[in-house]
Amino acid sequence: MQVRELEWQFYTKPKNITMDNSMKLYWELVFKRQTNNDLLRELHNPIRQYEKEMIDGAILDIGCGQSPFLLDFLSTDREIIAIDNEQIQLDFLKKRVESEKSATLKNWSYLNLNFPKDDLPDSTYSLIIFSNLLHFFTLKECVEIGKIIANKSTKGTLIYIGVHSVKFYANNPSNSNNNGYFKHYFTIRDLDKVFPSHLFEKIYYADIDKSDSKSERDLTEEWLDKDIEADGITDPNQRDLIKKNYLKNKRQSDVIAVYRKK
């Protein structure tokens, strides 16, 4: 396999299919290597600034993964609804929650749903979380998702969004595969189209650009080693070249926003 082909295999998985073996390896490593405290230490959660303003209702995380956001609400009495289309991620999250003595377990639900194809549960929501999900959809699809959320939310519902920005390291519009994996790279103006001002008030916005921490780099390198080995590549020089090409200029650039339903 050519270096460039391997590098781009991480960006070319079609949307809404079963998680491939490469990403299963990655999320298994996250579960094994990163404790709940590790995830929470790395979490930037602006919702905490508006917690006293949250209306009564459930907290919903769509595409939750091993959600540090939900782990941050471990001891709440609010109903917690975790949604993902990958059962392995729901199982990992449940194990994380059940490992904590302070967790209020009876108010947690773990639902294997394929959003937006499957309907969201009918409930009053205090908070809806979209962390690292919407960039797997085109902007047009996201606008339709915004309409779904407008119908499912009520006055005062907070919506958290974290998406890859146009400055994200994998964004290369000149490459024909640029939108094969991540379907859209966002500006804040794009999010304002998804959550328009006549329906939502934007109460928080941040443009994040950062290098990976040492723990993030170590995890990525271990994942690359395991994934390259799974592809049967044994030549040390080729392995090093693949890792070098994948890791160079790797910066995390994201748009973070919080909207409130009017």
Q: Would you say the pTM of this structure is higher than 0.85?
A: yes
* Confidence at 3, pLDDT banded by 50, 70, 90: very low
Burial status of residue 5 (CB atoms within 10 A of its CB: 0-12, 13-18, 19 or more): exposed
In order of 115, 167, 174, 180, the CA distances from 185 in angstroms are: 20, 8, 14, 12
Residues 154-200 pLDDT 10s: 999 999 999 999 999 889 999 988 998 899 999 999 999 999 999 99
CB 141 within 8 A of CB 171: no
pLDDT exceeds cutoff 80 at 28: yes
Instruction: Give the strands of the sheet with 200-211, arranged side by side.
Output: 108-112, 80-84, 58-62, 125-131, 158-164, 251-261, 200-211
Domains of the chain: 3-261 (3.40.50.150)
Instruction: Over range 246-253, report the average pLDDT.
Output: 80
Cβ neighbours of 199 (radius 10 Å): 14
